[in-house]
């Protein structure tokens, strides 16, 4: 029996990528980089190199179950963990961990978001395998930290000290949410801070012990489901269980409180693809800095440093436009300066209040 498992979290609604990412079809199900694969398909393929396909579980909102079946046809219904409501990452990890533990108490588990980019696949596979081995031998909670290339204010940071478990796993000292620029600069200069990639590795035993200690109410809720997991009654049980859960992240609920947290510093070409700016940074650009996905029928005159994403076959002519995002999807056109893209969440809220949910 292979003791290694993967949990892919795919429940987010990706509002920062509106209008391409909609509540009914968020960014993890879109080929946002124009690679020929959606983000969740790329994530799934990555984990096939690490664990057997029957050991990969997808946690998602129940409204996305059918999209997952379409995009990942090898996944069985038992491998899709459908949440009735959004309750952040702690409840979904408790659910998946209890379900896996009920089948295999010796499981070692990697947990990762479905919508991140990883360029150096070999390094990623090596780091996860190394982490799975370490958590199988030690009672520890491992998180992966990315060596920062710039003082980015869009990421959380992990500070570590010189205490080493083995094979480069360092004891975590502090977690810091997204800092301001001055603080981010200090972090990067100090050399003992890493970006928090939101990728975790632990044994089923260690994470369930941590839930028992730090989030006992959530732990009890999902512990009670042990007789129901992998049975016809699982979905009924989960419908009730989720409404009893508080909305809390694994970072805040457990990682910031536990005393056995270690970080593996790494650099496998990671991006959380959190903003149009991150897509623009990674996309192929022409000699004046325009990134166009797909680029079939977009004609640009005297325009530079623009990010353009329009439906295939749509003829678009842009003239005199510099440093803009131009996105069309789902009967909606968004044109905004690249340095104002953080306002998209507010725009989505305004559109919802004016026009209802038809465009969201």
Q: Are 112 and 52 in contact (CB under 8 A)?
A: no
pLDDT at 343: 85
- What residue ranges of the chain have pLDDT lower than 70? 1, 295
Strands (DSSP E) along the chain, which ranges? 4-9, 56-61, 80-83, 108-113, 117-118, 141-146, 157-164, 170-176, 193-203, 261-266, 270-271, 291-293, 298-301, 307-309, 316-319, 324-329, 332-337
Distance CA 129, CA 122 (A): 11
**Count of Cβ atoms closer than 10 Å to residue 48 Cβ:** 12
pLDDT at 1: 62
Q: Which two tokens stand for residue 95?
A: 């659910």
| Domains of the chain as residue ranges with CATH | 4-271 (3.90.550.10), 276-355 (no CATH)
Q: The whole model's pTM is what?
A: 0.93
């Amino acid at each position: 029996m292979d003791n290694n498992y993967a949990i892919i979290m795919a429940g987010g609604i990706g509002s920062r990528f509106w209008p391409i990412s909609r509540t009914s079809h968020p960014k993890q199900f879109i080929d946002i980089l124009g690679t020929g694969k959606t983000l969740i398909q790329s994530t799934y393929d990555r984990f096939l190199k690490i664990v057997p396909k029957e050991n990969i579980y997808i946690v998602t909102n129940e409204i996305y179950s059918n999209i997952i079946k379409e995009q990942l046809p090898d996944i069985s219904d038992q491998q899709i963990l459908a949440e009735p409501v959004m309750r952040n990452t702690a409840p979904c990890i408790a659910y998946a961990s209890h379900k896996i533990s009920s089948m295999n108490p010796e499981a070692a588990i990697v947990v990762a978001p479905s919508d991140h980019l990883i360029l150096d696949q070999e390094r990623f596979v090596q780091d996860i395998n190394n982490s799975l081995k370490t958590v199988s031998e030690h009672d520890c909670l491992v998180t992966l930290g990315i060596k920062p290339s710039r003082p980015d204010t869009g990421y959380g940071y992990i500070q570590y000290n010189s205490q080493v478990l083995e094979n480069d796993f360092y004891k975590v000292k502090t977690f810091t949410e997204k800092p301001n620029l001055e603080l981010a600069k200090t972090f990067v200069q100090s050399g003992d801070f890493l970006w928090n990639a939101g990728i975790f590795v632990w044994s089923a035993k260690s994470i369930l012990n941590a839930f028992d200690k730090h989030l006992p109410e959530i732990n009890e809720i999902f512990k009670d489901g042990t007789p129901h997991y992998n049975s016809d009654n699982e979905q009924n049980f989960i419908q009730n269980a989720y409404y009893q859960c508080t909305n809390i992240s694994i970072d805040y609920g457990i990682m910031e409180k536990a005393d056995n947290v270690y970080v593996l510093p790494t650099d496998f070409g990671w991006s959380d693809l959190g903003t149009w700016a991150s897509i623009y940074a990674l996309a192929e650009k022409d000699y004046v800095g325009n990134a166009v996905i797909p680029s079939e029928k977009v004609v640009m005159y005297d325009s530079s440093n623009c990010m353009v994403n329009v439906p295939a076959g749509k003829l678009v002519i842009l003239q005199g436009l510099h440093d803009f995002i131009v996105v069309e999807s789902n009967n909606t056109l968004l044109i905004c300066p690249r340095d104002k893209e953080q306002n998209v969440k507010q725009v989505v809220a305004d559109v919802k209040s004016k026009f209802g949910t038809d465009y969201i």
